[in-house]
Structures are given as structure tokens and as C-alpha cells.
């Protein structure tokens, strides 16, 4: 069974644990998730089944939207509610204008230090393993992009934000850094991912819904086609000769079809000079992802799905 499930991950389960349950329920041995969520976080967790596991890398760059409650006046060692309280601060002098001004520093491309309680590895070990052992190591700052940050509510000491960001962004680091900027400390009280690429929380399914659908034998209705998440890649239609070439891993002859390439299947565009494109046969069947080879000026099959 090939496709993608838009799972609404419940609190208290790891992303890996959700994948294990999906495997058990569906009987599909090949399964993997995109975009890890912390155990206490909830929301969208795309789970790829069958051949769809091969496009996880293309999901990683998708924009993500989060909604979070940040509590001011408390600092934890993990930057979230699962950690130990290590400091308390006074929030009495903070009002909405002060908060809005502080938030300006978190829009656009910013430098962020990954938290110790994260899955990033240091010399082969996850940082959270070292953190649990009381070991702190130096982490390098790295750039992340905050495409949108909105203050949804301010009910002291709680700040509610909606954040659209690039991959690699740690929302709890934003919470901790906001607390430092305000001088009172802060931690991420809760987190929900409401959008991931073209998936949103409104069309997600709970684990209970999936379990019920499996019991009635119609769970496949929740599967999204593999190419449904690749709309940002240009597409091209190949003829029968091109289809046969793709099947055996050879580059198809598509130079004559340059003007057929489309972004998001809407606006005609010329071929990009490099990158990836989707290939379809004349019946609209998704065949492969092709990658441009500049040395030979050909589009070679990167991942074939037929």
C-alpha cells in the first residue's frame, strides 16, 4: 500500500511510536514519518507507507505552522514543560507593547541554538541522552527562517503564538530566547503543529479514526497519493518511449516537451536549469522524480515509482 497518512499525533507518544502503531494496524512493513514531533507535542505527523517512504526527503523542506502557548516567568532546563524548573522571574513589568517589540527579533532569518534536549547528535549520541546524564556540550548556532509570527493572545503570563517556519526550527528555543530577551525567563507550555506543507490539521485523522477505519476495511480512503506532496516540483509528460526509458533507469528524451513543464500544475514555465521534476505518462500516471544532470544536459530518473 503506497501513500501518505496525515496523522494527528496525540500527546504522550513519540513519532517513532506512532509509526509502529500504523505498521501494526495496516500491516505495511515499510513506513516512516517526516518531521519529528516531541512526545508531548501534538498535531500533524505525515506517515509515509510503501513506496512513499522514498519521498520523505522531499517533505523535509516543507513549511510548517505551529501554535504554541509560552509561559513567561519560568525557565526549564529542556525549554518545555517536561523539564525541571531552574529559574523564576518577574513578569509584572511586561505588557503587550513590550511583548510585541521583543517578538520583532524573531521574524525573518534568525540564528538559533538547538536545545540540549533534542535529537541532534554529538559524536554519535543524541543530545537528549547527554542532557539526561547532566552533560552539556557546545552547540553551534544555525540559521532558521521564521516566515510568519503572530501574537494570537496575551493573557499574562501566557503568550499564544502562531509560527510558520522553515525546517530545523525549534519552537521551544524561541520560547527560551524570548524569555531571555524579556529578562523574565520562559518555557514552551504546549505545542501543536497545524500545517505541514499542503497538509493541515482540519484534514488530519486521529489514531482512533485510523484504528476504526482499519476495522471496517476502508482505511485506504485516508491515503494521499505519493505525488500529492510534490506540487512544488515542475512536471512533464513523457511519451511511451520516454516511459520505457524511465522504467529501466535511463533518461527520457524530453527536450521537445519543455513548454509542458508546469509549477503546481497551473502556470506554464520553462525548464529549470537544475533540480527535480515529476514525470507522468500520457494517461496521467506518476512515473518518477527526475534529477537534472548538467554534465550531460539530461534528466535522469532519481526515484522511479512504477
Rounded CA gap, 70 and 167, in Å?
20
Segment (H or E) for 66: strand 64-72
**Cell numbers for 47:** 506517515
CA 122 to chain centroid, in Å, comes to: 22
Rounded CA gap, 258 and 292, in Å?
13
Surface-to-core class of residue 279, CB atoms within 10 Å of its CB (0-12 exposed, 13-18 middle, 19+ buried): buried
Task: Confirm if 72 and 156 have CB atoms less than 8 A apart.
Answer: yes
Rounded CA gap, 196 and 6, in Å?
9
**Cell numbers for 161:** 503564538
List phi, psi (to 5°) of 268: -60, 135
Task: Confirm if 186 and 70 have CB atoms less than 8 A apart.
Answer: yes
**Cell numbers for 36:** 519529528
List phi, psi (to 5°) of 10: -80, 160
Catalytic site residue from 38, 77, 80, 227 = 38
Active site residue 69: no
Active site residues: 38
Amino acid at each position: 500500500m503506497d501513500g501518505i497518512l496525515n496523522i494527528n499525533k496525540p500527546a504522550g507518544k513519540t513519532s517513532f511510536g506512532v509509526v509502529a502503531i500504523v505498521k501494526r494496524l495496516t500491516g505495511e512493513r515499510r513506513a516512516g514519518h517526516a518531521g519529528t514531533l516531541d512526545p508531548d507535542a501534538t498535531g500533524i505527523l505525515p506517515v509515509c507507507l510503501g513506496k512513499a517512504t522514498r519521498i520523505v526527503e522531499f517533505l523535509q523542506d516543507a513549511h510548517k505552522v505551529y501554535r504554541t502557548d509560552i509561559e513567561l516567568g519560568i525557565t526549564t532546563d529542556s525549554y518545555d514543560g517536561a523539564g525541571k524548573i531552574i529559574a523564576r522571574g518577574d513578569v509584572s513589568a511586561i505588557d503587550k507593547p513590550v511583548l510585541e517589540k521583543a517578538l520583532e527579533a524573531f521574524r525573518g532569518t534568525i540564528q538559533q541554538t538547538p536545545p540540549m534536549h533534542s535529537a541532534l547528535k554529538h559524536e554519535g549520541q543524541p543530545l537528549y541522552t547527554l542532557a539526561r546524564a547532566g552533560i552539556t556540550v557546545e552547540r553551534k548556532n544555525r540559521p532558521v527562517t521564521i516566515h510568519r509570527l503572530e501574537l494570537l493572545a496575551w493573557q499574562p503570563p501566557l503568550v499564544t503564538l502562531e509560527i510558520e517556519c522553515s525546517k530545523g526550527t525549534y519552537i521551544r528555543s524561541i520560547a527560551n530566547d524570548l524569555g531571555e530577551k524579556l529578562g523574565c525567563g520562559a518555557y514552551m507550555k504546549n505545542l501543536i503543529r497545524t500545517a505541514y506543507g499542503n497538509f493541515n490539521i482540519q484534514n488530519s485523522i486521529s489514531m482512533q479514526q485510523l484504528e476504526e477505519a482499519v476495522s471496517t476495511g476502508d482505511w485506504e480512503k485516508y491515503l494521499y497519493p505519493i505525488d500529492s506532496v510534490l506540487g512544488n516540483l515542475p512536471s512533464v509528460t513523457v511519451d511511451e518511449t520516454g516511459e520505457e526509458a524511465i522504467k529501466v533507469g535511463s533518461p527520457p528524451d524530453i527536450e521537445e516537451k519543455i513548454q509542458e513543464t508546469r509549477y503546481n500544475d497551473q502556470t506554464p514555465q520553462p525548464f529549470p536549469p537544475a533540480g527535480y521534476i515529476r514525470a507522468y505518462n500520457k494517461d496521467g500516471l506518476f512515473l518518477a522524480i527526475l534529477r537534472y544532470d548538467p554534465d550531460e544536459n539530461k534528466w535522469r530518473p532519481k526515484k522511479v515509482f512504477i
